[in-house]
């Protein structure tokens, strides 16, 4: 799918451009209508090719979606790092992690909503989601266990289940929200409560007195 014949650099091939054009068109259309209402005709049209030419670049609409989706994964796992790799009820770190998720939903809500709706009955998308979730759950599980071992968090549900519920909650909260960003602080509070129980607001930050 990529570039030069020799070591010498040359611009992206015509095909590479078309491929990008399709992706761009998809992003563009998603700004205006839900994923389910986007047709391959439109994708092709937006990239100035016929519908059948579309299939030269992607196997199906799903393939396009997956491509878009993969562009987001990196960002997510980067911004959640500080929180997931940290220790204790670090409100600031959690806030940053959740805020970045909120931004993601703000910018790509239609894509995410559509993809998630299509996931059952669409293996590649389901896999993408499963991978992301697995990553989050595993790191969060480990974090909870660290905190418990250090006496920083109370017992209760198994760390894994707790992590899964936290993941579920984030997803559902943003999927339904009209204003993801407005939800961030409350989500942070709730998630901290889920894991640590009720904390006096003073302790709910990095350095406790």
Q: Which residues bind its own copies (CB under 8 A)?
A: 34, 36-37, 113-114, 116-121, 154, 156-158, 161-162, 164-165, 168-169, 171-173, 176, 183, 185-187, 189-190, 193-194, 196-199
CA separation for the pair 69, 94 (Å, rounded): 23
| Rounded (10°) CA dihedral 188, 192, 194, 195 | 140
Q: Which one of residues 41, 168, 181, 185 is an interface residue with DNA (CB under 7 A)?
A: 41
47-76 residues in contact with DNA (CB under 7 A) are 49-53, 55-57, 59-61
Structure tokens at 7: 């070591």
Cβ proximity to DNA, 3 vs 87, nearer residue: 3
Cβ proximity to DNA, 9 vs 200, nearer residue: 9
Select the binding partner of residue 104 from DNA, its own copies, none (C-beta < 5 to 8 A, by kind).
none
**Which spans in the chain are helix H?**
14-30, 40-46, 51-57, 61-79, 81-84, 91-118, 123-149, 159-176, 180-196
188 and 146 Cβ atoms separated by less than 8 Å: no
The residues that touch DNA, with contacts defined as CB under 7 A, are 5, 10, 13-16, 18, 39-41, 49-53, 55-57, 59-61
């Amino acid at each position: 799918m990529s570039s030069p014949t020799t070591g010498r650099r040359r611009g992206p091939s015509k095909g590479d451009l078309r491929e990008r054009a399709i992706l761009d068109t998809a992003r563009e259309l998603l700004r205006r209508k839900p994923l389910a209402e986007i047709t391959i005709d439109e994708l092709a049209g937006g990239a100035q090719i016929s519908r059948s030419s579309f299939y030269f670049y992607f196997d199906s609409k799903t393939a396009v979606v997956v491509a878009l989706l993969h562009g987001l994964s990196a960002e997510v796992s980067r911004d959640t790092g500080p929180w997931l790799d940290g220790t204790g009820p670090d409100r600031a770190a959690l806030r940053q992690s959740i805020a970045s998720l909120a931004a993601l939903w703000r910018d790509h809500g239609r894509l995410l909503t559509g993809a998630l709706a299509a996931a059952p009955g669409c293996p590649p998308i389901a896999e993408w989601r499963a991978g992301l979730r697995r990553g989050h759950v595993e790191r969060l599980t480990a974090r909870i266990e660290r905190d418990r071992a250090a006496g920083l968090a109370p017992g209760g549900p198994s760390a894994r289940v707790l992590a899964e519920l936290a993941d579920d909650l984030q997803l559902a909260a943003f999927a339904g929200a009209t204003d993801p960003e407005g939800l961030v602080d409350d989500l942070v509070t709730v998630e901290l409560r889920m894991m640590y129980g009720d904390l006096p607001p003073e302790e709910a930050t990095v350095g406790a007195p």
